[in-house]
Amino acid sequence: MVGQSSEPSTHAWGTQPEMFGPRHEHRLAIILGEVARLPQDALLLDGAVGLGQLAARVAATGRRVIGIDYSFDAALHVKRNSRIPVIVGDLTRMPFREGTFDGVTTGETLEHLDDDASAAREIGRILRPGGSCIATVPALQSLWTASDDYYEHRRRYARLQLIALFRTAGLAVRKAKFWGFPVVLAYDTLFLLPMNKRRSRLDVGKDAALQSVARAGRSRFLVGAMRVLFSLDRLFSFVPFGPGLLLVARKE
């Protein structure tokens, strides 16, 4: 656990860099760009809801959104800090009727699940005909680093592997594209990886350097500046490579 510097550890809930900071904001913008294509009156499920940033921004567009998360801490955080309905639940066995939602968003979630196939089938089940799933996952097993260990990932996805996962669940894949090359990949390698190695060894609460990084990750100015840099990746969107994959799949 974090705080026990005598042995390696993984993240404490809500503290890992992918739950805030410029990379997180950049990825949320990618997902929201796809959400904007959904009907204005759509009912969406955000799973897993995490700190609730994506769900809150979806709600701000006027669309209805419900959150689900396996973590009680996550559900409690969202309940205390927003008006978004949220439940504690398992993505592989969701407590919703078939065809309940017009859309499902799930960012950086499937890679944490032992049974991602069941989660994909459940997403297909709860979508209405014509409904869409918008998902992001880490890409390419060849890019596995100590950060994946720190985040407790089960896998990184090849593009065809992700497509097959949702086709098997009965969904038609409309988009499956890499994102994050080359700028986000450089950020992951040169900044996040060394930081996560440090976080795995040290108590964040007692390490001045890690505390400074955490404050910087919440600075609007720095986050905005980094997002401008990340936007340069669009110039290389034709390259079939990157640290992340965006998938959009539709229930026909």
Mean predicted confidence (pLDDT) in 125-143? 98
Q: How far is CA 147 from CA 10, 17, 142, 190, in A?
A: 9, 10, 13, 12
Buried b (16+ CB within 10 A) or exposed e, 198-228: ebbebebeebeebeebbeebeeeeebeebee
Q: Summarize pLDDT for 187-205 with one digit per residue, the tens.
A: 999 999 999 999 888 877 7
For the cut 60, the answer to whether the pLDDT of residue 4 exceeds it is: no
pLDDT band of residue 16 (cuts 50, 70, 90) is low
pTM for this predicted structure = 0.90
Q: What are the domain boundaries of the chain?
A: 17-180+239-250
Q: Please, which residues have CB within 8 angstroms of residue 59's CB and are 6 or more apart in sequence?
A: 65, 82, 83, 84
pLDDT exceeds cutoff 90 at 208: no
Place of tokens 């720095």: 222
Least confident of 45-59, 148-162, 202-216: 202-216
Q: Coil, helix or strand for 167? A: helix
- The pLDDT of residue 12 is above 80: no
Q: In this model, does residue 177 exceed pLDDT 60?
A: yes
Residues 17-180+239-250: name the CATH superfamily. Vaccinia Virus protein VP39 (3.40.50.150)
Rounded CA separation 183/31 (Å): 18
